[in-house]
Structure 1
Amino acid sequence: MFKRCILLVCIFCFYFSQAQYDTESSTKIQQDSIKRKEFMQHLGQGYFPTRFLDLDLRYLIKFNQYEGIRTGLGFVTNNNFSERYRINSYLVYGFRDHRFKYSIGGGFRVSENTNTWINLAYTDDLQETGSTKFITDGRFFQFFEPRLLNIDLFHKHITKKISIEHELHNTLIFESEFATSKIEPTYAYNFNLNGNQFTNFDISYAKLALNWNPFNKTVQLSEDKSTIKPGFPQFTLQYTKSFKDVLSSDFNFSKIDFKSIFRLGSANQSFSEITLVSGIANGNAPLTHLYHAYPNNITKQTIMQRFSVAGLTSFETMYFNEFFSDKFATLQYKYFLKPFKISQRFKPQVVLISRYAIGNMQHPEQHENISFSTLNKGYTESGFELNKLLFGFGLSFTYRYGAYHLPDISDNVALKFTFNVSL
């Protein structure tokens, strides 16, 4: 009898310890899975996390026509460093222009409930002429930025700014900033304003921006960690005002920019994506602060000489520096067919694309030493992509037609690589 009792106790202890081990093992696997998911999310946003710093992978290596190879390193402190304060900085070097560029900044959180931050930054760098950045877009990271390879029209800027981030709601973000910039174009350019010639200039401005994503969802990773799953449609509205004679600013102008993204259908099946971007500039704005339509075609003689990599939202047949506007709108439609499941790893996908742009400029004669057209007749191109053929690479074919169709048929054709990798 005693032996039987001992045997029952041993069996009970074994099963109890085994159950406890299974529970601990399951918990450990779950924790490892969450950590791995968080790491991949960081990597997908362009960060390599360390204990106190997240290294910024955007600055490792890039290439453009002005700097040649551009390489460096950036970082931002994470919550292990402080949940209330943060420091962010980067340092890069261009091998063709033989010049360092850098930024140093930081911020402090004044409210945890609304995730309100006040930030300061000092930046000495380049910016593409005619480009507009929505400050609420936050961070955008691509392993490979195809448009950057062929950009040659940059302006230097030294910018000091103070900004505020504030979440009005989980789906509504407000940001504002006030900044002063010293602008120096890297190309021959005069801004002729009432007989006064400006080759470089100072601009002091304020920006107000709202980003509304009404169908975003919060996904809980663990008890104390969550992430946002984006929903559609998404809306962004931004207002910019430049003040003459404030901190030696040279010009008065204002800009209103709008962007919206719609998606219809399921990402696992066939779906459509529509992107609308528009902007209006009023007042005395130099070319550096006007609009292009995100062209991505280099000026070469043959199709194969122009062979490069297609962008995600750029006009592939529009040549760099061909058009500038003080008011413009672009509409892009993409239809993603369901991927062809040839094997578990080989799933190519066909995307049908059509793009339209229209714009105008009130006083093109003010912008001297540079020749360009406006988009007042309406610009159209259509084509298709065959994506994810090999290691994320695919092929793109686009054709330019309509009012800006060129006499030589081959000049209207863009044949390029595509590159799509998601984590």
Structure 2
Amino acid sequence: MRKHLFIVLLLTLASHGYAQRGLESKKDSTKTVQDSIKKIEFLKNIGNGFLPFNYFNLDLKYLIKFNQYEGLRSGLGGITNDRFSDRYRVDGYVVYGFKDKRFKYKIGGGFRINKSSNTWINLAYIDDLQETGSSKFLTDKRFFTFFEPRLLNIDLFHKHITKSVGLQHKFSNHLLLESQLATSKVEPTYFYNFLIDNKIYSNFDLSTAKTSLQWSPFSEFSEINSKFEETKNGFPKFTLQYTQGFKSVLGSDFTFSKIDFRTIQEFKHKNEANTKLTLVAGLAKGDVPITHLYHASPNNITKETIMQRFSVAGLNSFETMYFNEFFSDRFSTLQIKHIFKPFKISDRFKPQLVLISRYAIGNMNNIERHQGIQFNTLNKLYSESGIEINKLLFGFGLSFAYRYGGYHLEDFEDNIAFKFTFNISL
């Protein structure tokens, strides 16, 4: 009997030890998975330009930048995360321009009114600069790069103090909406007069309503950590935005309307190459100052020689088009990129060849309204083509582009842009 009890005791201890080891192994496995998830989430945040802390994500895009007007621009910004609250958020930034010796800042926040449709009400107060002729879609996802190539050489900005209230709503994973009501006090940093009905405006007030729709019918989404995220980036994608300006509403000076459209298509080939097409168009009608008209995303400095113009190529900019050369109240651009499979010279050295063609056309009514600034229109087709050889060394590469067609310049070298590229992914 004692022998039997002794055997049972040994078996019990053995099974208990095995169970403990199994439990410990299970705990170790669970911890490894959790650590892996945390690492992936951390890298995702860094890739989006955020350094996560307990209740707050530091926004890396405000740390350091450079442009021709502010010189060095540096500051801090960020947004609260889900650990702080999944119903409320606070965001903002403070930056300082060392050349213009001026602080800029934003104070904002939002509260969610519906979880299933991810509906938010957002409020913001902004005192900052904006590039003249730039047009942004409200629904654009956050896009982060370590530095913004075009920003280095931009010199045409306008100051604005903007108060806004917005609505963010998801009709479905494929269809997103953002709307915004805003008032802005606008003051160009350069000499500019806007002539309307024999009255000259050197600065002005605007009251606007803006609605933006983004449709991604071929993307696929999956629920990850209780959030639906895009798991397949499907094409084509479509974005449409309408802006209406109201005269005499909250002191606004002008009535105008704008329609902006963009579609992106991408074809993946069997040899791991892909072709990307981007079509952008805009139409502005009414009394629209140059601050709110369109440029075609130029990225060339007005200097004499090719090497004096050597700088950084942008991702979707016209490399041979000079800054402030063209403005339009209606325009369209088409960009075609064919990206070849990387050349595997070694495990670390995989340069990539890209062929690029870009086209732009546009025009402007009532050019005489815009006084103090000289520019051309795009009533003839603007054309440039070129190549990029990316990832030659530490993410750096080289770019070459040539300007031809209706806006070909008399001096041969003025049509050439030679620059370096920077591409890195986390």
Q: Under a length normalisation based on structure 1, what TM-score does the superposition of the two structures give?
A: 0.97
Could you say which residue in structure 1 is the equivalent of 2:392?
Answer: 389
Task: Give the counterpart letter for 2:169 in structure 1.
Answer: H
Unaligned runs of 5+ residues in structure 1 are none
Could you say which residue in structure 2 is the equivalent of 1:197?
Answer: 200
Could you say which residue in structure 2 is the equivalent of 1:31?
Answer: 34
Mapped partners of 1:235, 1:18: distance in 2: 55
Is 1:215 the counterpart of 2:218? The answer is yes
Could you say which residue in structure 1 is the equivalent of 2:184?
Answer: 181
Structure 1 segment 354-373 matched on structure 2, within 5 A = 354-373=357-376
Mapped partners of 1:303, 1:6: distance in 2: 87
Could you say which residue in structure 2 is the equivalent of 1:228?
Answer: 230
Distance 1:387 1:252, change over 3 A: same
Could you say which residue in structure 2 is the equivalent of 1:68?
Answer: 71
Mapped partners of 2:40, 2:388: distance in 1: 30
Is 1:155 the counterpart of 2:158? The answer is yes
Q: Deviations over 1:255-294 (max 9, x none)?
A: 0000111111069810111001000000110000000000
**Could you tell me which of 393, 418, 421 is aligned with 1:418?**
421
Name the SS for the 2:25 alignment partner: helix
1:343 to partner: Cα distance: 2.5
Distance 1:12 1:345, change over 3 A: farther
Could you say which residue in structure 2 is the equivalent of 1:49?
Answer: 52
Contact 1:85 1:107 in 2 (8 A): yes
**Could you tell me which of 78, 83, 86 is aligned with 2:86?**
83
1:344 to partner: Cα distance: 2.5
Task: Give the counterpart letter for 1:304 in structure 2.
Answer: M
Could you say which residue in structure 1 is the equivalent of 2:317?
Answer: 314
Mapped partners of 1:250, 1:270: distance in 2: 51
Mapped partners of 1:260, 1:37: distance in 2: 30
Q: Deviations over 1:190-245 (max 9, x none)?
A: 111122111001110100110011122224444x3553233221110000000001
Could you say which residue in structure 1 is the equivalent of 2:351?
Answer: 348
Aligned residues, how many? Answer: 422
Is 1:96 the counterpart of 2:99? The answer is yes
Name the SS for the 2:336 alignment partner: strand
Mapped partners of 1:206, 1:140: distance in 2: 24
Distance 1:399 1:116, change over 3 A: same
Contact 1:339 1:349 in 2 (8 A): yes
Question: Which stretch has the larger CA shift, 268-277 or 67-76?
Answer: 268-277
Contact 1:51 1:80 in 2 (8 A): yes
1:144 to partner: Cα distance: 1.2
Task: Give the counterpart letter for 1:295 in structure 2.
Answer: P
Mapped partners of 2:410, 2:18: distance in 1: 82
Structure 1 segment 124-143 matched on structure 2, within 5 A = 124-143=127-146
Task: Give the counterpart letter for 2:44 in structure 1.
Answer: Q
Could you say which residue in structure 2 is the equivalent of 1:109?
Answer: 112
1:6 to partner: Cα distance: 5.6
Could you say which residue in structure 2 is the equivalent of 1:119?
Answer: 122
1:9 to partner: Cα distance: 4.5
1:27 to partner: Cα distance: 1.6
1:373 to partner: Cα distance: 0.5
**Could you tell me which of 254, 257, 264 is aligned with 1:261?**
264
Mapped partners of 2:341, 2:235: distance in 1: 19
Q: Deviations over 1:149-191 (max 9, x none)?
A: 0000000000011100000001100110010100000001111
Contact 1:34 1:221 in 2 (8 A): no
Name the SS for the 2:139 alignment partner: helix
Name the SS for the 2:143 alignment partner: coil
What is the percentage of aligned positions where both structures have the same residue?
62
Name the SS for the 1:334 alignment partner: strand
Question: Which stretch has the larger CA shift, 341-350 or 108-117?
Answer: 341-350
Could you say which residue in structure 2 is the equivalent of 1:22?
Answer: 25
Q: Under a length normalisation based on structure 2, what TM-score does the superposition of the two structures give?
A: 0.96
Mapped partners of 1:337, 1:22: distance in 2: 46
Contact 1:334 1:351 in 2 (8 A): yes
Q: Deviations over 1:58-98 (max 9, x none)?
A: 10000000000000000111111111111111000000000
1:17 to partner: Cα distance: 3.0
Contact 1:85 1:109 in 2 (8 A): yes
Could you say which residue in structure 2 is the equivalent of 1:375?
Answer: 378
Task: Give the counterpart letter for 1:12 in structure 2.
Answer: S
Name the SS for the 1:28 alignment partner: helix
Unaligned runs of 5+ residues in structure 2 are none
Mapped partners of 2:18, 2:316: distance in 1: 59
Name the SS for the 2:413 alignment partner: helix
Task: Give the counterpart letter for 1:403 in structure 2.
Answer: G
Mapped partners of 1:100, 1:202: distance in 2: 21
